[in-house]
Homo-oligomer: A and B are copies of this chain.
Amino acid sequence: MINYKIVQEELGNIKQITEEEKIKKLSQDYYYFSPILSEKLADKTGDLVLQPTSEDEILHIAKICVKHQIPITIRGAGTGNYGQCIPLNGGIILDMTEMNKIQWIKSGIARVEAGVKMSILEREANKQGWELRMIPSTYKIATLGGFIGGGSGGIGSINYGQLRDRGNVHKVKVVTLEKEPRIIELIGDETQQINHAYGTNGIITEIEIPLAPAYNWSDFIVVFDDFMNAVKFGQVLSDSDGIIKKLVSIHAYPIPNYFLALKPYLPQGKSCAFLTIADNSFLPLQELVKEFRGEITYNPQDKQEKPLQLIEFTWNHTTFHARNIDPNLTYLQTFFWNLEQVEKMYKHFGDEVMIHLEFLRVGGKAIPAGLQLVKFTSEKRLNEIIKYHEDNGANIANPHTYILEDGGRKKVEPEQLKFKRMVDPFGLMNQGKMRAWNQ
């Protein structure tokens, strides 16, 4: 048994949260999008939340965790969906949101503390004509460290691929939980060791990332009578090297019915595309829409339109809005490798699996990644649905598991396991999430 009274004393001036309700809240994420995870994780909570403000405090916390063998779970804003930051065995919750300094932005590179909100970093980068290469739909509150630890891509991935792609993360500073905790800097490819590792192998304290040049972006809504026509439009737009975009989000009818706030722009019965387009590409966009017999229903060039936060209806915000209407809905994450796979699933499942696509680049090629909405009936049926996708060549990154290797990559990268062996020899970090470690 850990004596938290002693622990708390040893923590000195480090900010602690001890109220049970607050700890409970800071032990959660958006895992409840999954009925499977909901059941498994609802009662999980930490014992103590810490909010460090400096690397020194984090080093001190690391030492105390090692000394008392306290499990530790790192979190940013907790906007993940797989229980990435939910402690399975109690212990300390390390809330990184007070580690939020922007060290510098120069020559299209930013160096920041891991807990910086992406929206705040974006605002600072904008002042120099830069922006983040990719952001999640939760970017307003999500932290960069959380995104790298638990995310994979987002708005902008249609240009820059995913976080895992070489060049999208330059450097990462990590505090270890070795017998003598220390600070390590990972450079370039070495950062893969901690990328999307759920904070199982080191406390990310600082990050250096390359930025993207900032365009003047505008959001458009386009509607289509025929869903597959919308999908083809999305693929061609994604492949149109002369049209500058950063979001190509396609929603099969009846998904648009879940977007109550956008109702005026979403005629009944139509599938829709949500797009973010650079202002020097409006002209060719309009021609492409025409070619695919789409109709632009929201055009920010029209001065009478009020500005929309369209980003917040895409990626997993789509699931969020749909679940607000029908809590029985859940979702899948799918790599479709071509439009034929999309069409086959669309015809096969009908409204049981409503297709939502986010186009993104994988190895230089734009593909329609799926975040389909699923009418949940049972775990067995959900697994059947997953199997049918995989049997047809689509790859599912299962969002209904908190186990690292059961999710996107299907295996833990050997380098991540090796790195964990070095930096977390006592297995204190985010216990139970990396199966290879447990075995």
Contact = CB atoms under 8 A, between A and B. Distances in A.
Please give the count of copies of this chain that the complex contains. 2
Interface residues of A, number: 44
Contacts of A278: 108
A324 interface: no
Contacts of A283: 167, 170, 187-188
Contacts of A239: 363-365
A364 B243 CA distance: 11
A165 interface: yes
Contact of A364 (B187, B215, B240, B281): B240
A439 interface: no
A240 B165 contact: yes
Contacts of A240: 165-167, 364
Nearest to A365: B365
6 cross-chain pairs, A with B, having the tightest CB-CB distances, nearest first: A239-B364, A167-B242, A213-B213, A167-B284, A161-B241, A108-B280
Contacts of A243: 166-167
A109 interface: yes
Nearest to A288: B166
A107 to B, nearest CB: 5
Contacts of A244: 167, 210
B215 A108 contact: yes
Contacts of A284: 166-167, 170, 188
27 contacts: A107-B216, A107-B279, A108-B216, A108-B279, A108-B280, A109-B280, A129-B213, A161-B241, A165-B240, A165-B241, A166-B284, A167-B240, A167-B244, A167-B281, A167-B283, A167-B284, A168-B242, A170-B283, A188-B287, A210-B242, A210-B244, A210-B281, A213-B214, A238-B364, A364-B365, A364-B366, A365-B365
A213 to B, nearest CB: 3
A130 to B, nearest CB: 9
Contacts of A238: 364
Given A109-B280, A166-B287, A210-B281, A241 B361 contact: yes
A201 to B, nearest CB: 21
